[in-house]
Amino acid sequence: MQWLARTPQWKRGMLIAMTASVILVVTTILVLYETLRLTSEHLAELPVPPRVRILGVVLMTFVGHTVAVWIYAGAYWLLVLWIGDDAFEGTPVKTFQDCLYFSVVTYTSLGFGDQVPTSHTRMIAGVEALNGLLLIGWSASFTYLAMERYWPLHGKDNTHRAASAAGDVEAEHARKRLFPPMDTP
């Protein structure tokens, strides 16, 4: 730890920003992964029409992204408290709500520009934008696969059992391909 105390302030800040970025990326990937995994596991079991299943996929994906945004907002809030007022320029960032707003704008790559990160906060904001882009693309792909799975079930009786009850081999094969059964040890 003595080497950290002897390290210049800007290098310490960069080391902290890089470490925080890695932790935030891994955490948000795991959050979205678990959200999508649990959604795909439990959605197939529900006796609901395909429209409700697809709505469930979209809503749960939105929940996963919301949690990711809040995680980044918490990190910015800690940085604002730790680094102080020089973490952002422009519109003041003083409260958690300010950090949440900045996180939403950054995660979605909207970038209004009314709050501008300074110092090492810039690195975390850049990583958040890239992370948001990748996770949004991942969830869009997952939503597409779910729609591909449930779309053919529209208009069939007993939609929650359509693939197995009707003996629809193609739909059952697609289900296993997109949502493979869990192997239990």
Tell me how far apart the alpha carbons of residues 149 and 174 are, in angstroms, rounded to a whole number.
7
Kindly report the backbone phi and psi dihedral angles of residue 163, in degrees, each rounded to the nearest multiple of 5, phi listed first.
Answer: -65, -45
Please give the pLDDT value at position 164: 47
Domain boundaries, the chain: 10-154+166-178
- pLDDT at position 166 over 50: no
**pLDDT tens, position by position, 30-49:** 999 999 999 988 887 888 88
pLDDT above 70 coverage of the chain, percent: 77
Torsion of CA 115, 120, 122, 125, to 10 degrees: -90
Statement: 10-154+166-178 belongs to CATH 1.10.287.70:
yes
Convert the pLDDT of each residue in 85-109 to its tens digit.
678 889 888 899 999 999 999 999 9
Give the span between the Cα atoms of 10 and 79, in whole angstroms. Answer: 15
The yes-or-no verdict on residue 185 having pLDDT over 60 is no
What is the Cα–Cα distance from 117 to 79, expressed in whole angstroms?
11
What integer best gives the mean pLDDT of the chain? 83
pLDDT band at 159 (very low <50, low <70, confident <90, very high): very low
